[in-house]
Amino acid sequence: MHLVKLTRTARGLANLPFSFFRPFNVCMWHVGRCGSTVVGDLLNQDGRIVWGSEILEPYSREVETRNLQPKAWKGAKRRIRYKQLMAGARIFGIEMKVWHLKRIGVEANTVLNFLKRNKYDKHILLERKNYLRVIVSGYAGLSSSKWHSKIGENPVSAEIRLDLKVVNNHLRLFGQFFDEMKRILPENHLVITYEDDILHDPLLAYRKIANYLGLTPRAVAVKYQKTNPGDLHKIVDNFEEVRECLKGTKHEWMLTAN
C-alpha cells in the first residue's frame, strides 16, 4: 500500500510542472446523493480530465469530528491546491458539497472567490430536484453502509425511519444552497439535473459537461446504477408521517416522484 502511495506521489510530482499549461479547472457544486459518482466516473474515463471528486469529504468529516473549524478552511485550500498541481496539464475537476461548507465552517462565496483565483473558470451546478430522495438516499447509505451500486449488483435493501425535524431542516438547507449558488455562480455556469440528465441516461450529463468544457465527447461506459430504486413508501417505515408533514407544502410532489 505504501509503495502504491509513493508511486502515485512520484507520478504527481512529475506532472507538477505541466500543471501551469492547464487551460482551466472546473468545480461541480451539489448536495450529495444526486448521481455525482456516476458522472465523475464518466469524466475520469474521458482521459483528458482528472476528476478529483469530493476531495474534501474525509477532511471535512475529520474537521467536524475533532472540532477543528477555526483553521479548517486554510487546510482545505492546501488540499485543493496540492491535488490540482498533481494533475498535470489535463483539466482538473473537484466537487464541492454543501456539507463540506457546513463542516468546515466557510461561506460558499468565500470558496468561490478562492477557486476563481486558482483558475476554476468553469462551474457546474448539479441539482437533484427531489430533495426528499436525496435525504432518503443519505439515510439508506448510513443504514446499509453501502453508498454506491455498480451495474449488476443487487440494489441496496434498507428500511429507514426519517426524523421529521431533519427532513424539514434539510429541505430548507438544500433550497437555500441552490438559490444562493444560482445567484453567485458566474453567468456561464452549466446547470444539470439528476432527473433530466442522469436518471435515465448518465451519458447525457457527460456529453453536456464535455461540450461545456470545449471537448468532443468520447466513448465512455456507465458503470453505476441507481442505489435506491424502490418507491418511498416501501423504503420509509414512517412514510405516512412524512406524507402528513409535507402535505400542502411545495415539497409534497416529492413523495411520489423519482
Residue 225 has which C-alpha cell?
Answer: 446504477
Paired residues of 97 in beta bridges? 30
Q: Give CA separation, 123 vs 119, 155, 213, in Å.
A: 11, 31, 10
Chain Cα centroid distance, residue 118: 20
Instruction: Determine contact, residues 96/29, Cβ cutoff 8 Å.
Output: yes
Fold of 2-255: Rossmann fold (3.40.50)
pLDDT at 104: 97
pLDDT at 37: 97
Q: What is the mean pLDDT of each run of 10 residues along the chain (258 residues)?
A: 49 59 94 97 97 97 94 96 91 98 97 97 98 96 85 82 98 98 97 98 98 98 90 94 97 95
Residues in the chain: 258
CA distance 68 to 225: 36
